[in-house]
Amino acid sequence: MSQHLLILETECPACRAPLTEGESVHLDAHVDEPNQDGAIFLSAVFGDHTLTTDLEIAAGATAEFRCPHCDASLMLRHLCPLCGAAMASINIASGGYLEFCSRRGCRGHALGGFGDIDQMMSLVNRMLKTPHD
């Protein structure tokens, strides 16, 4: 049996440039401790929380995320309901958005952009390219 992965096709909310590269979402990040800037690659596979980076990000540290194309901040004003760190947001190319916590190790995230469950299911069906809409 083959297993199909849901790859999230993402884009910058400011410039609409694609952020998904293969199975990764490419972002720029700033980490306060120690003071570093660099690239970070989050898994684009839905449900996978792995990341790749050359930055030293200790467990529990936070990062500020930016678009690698236009340098716009991806940070939000509201806080993660799980740990209290700032949330970041990127758009899903087929509609809606993905919010995620800026704290390393926190799994706080939300797939959203719609006010009711029917619209949310429509988004998931578009991402899966299923005929059910």
Q: CA 34, CA 111: separation in Å to the nearest integer? A: 31
pLDDT of residue 2: 40
pTM: 0.81
pLDDT digits (tens, 9 = 90+) for 101-116: 999 988 887 766 544 5
The answer on pLDDT for 4 being more than 60 is no
CA dihedral sign of residues 17, 20, 22, 24: positive
pLDDT of residue 17: 98
pLDDT of residue 1: 37
pLDDT digits (tens, 9 = 90+) for 18-62: 999 999 999 999 998 889 999 999 999 877 888 999 998 888 999
Please give the mean pLDDT across all residues of the chain.
85
The pLDDT confidence band at residue 117, using thresholds 50, 70 and 90, is: low
Domain boundary assignment for the chain: 10-128
Contact 94, 127 (CB under 8 A): yes
pLDDT digits (tens, 9 = 90+) for 57-70: 888 999 999 999 99
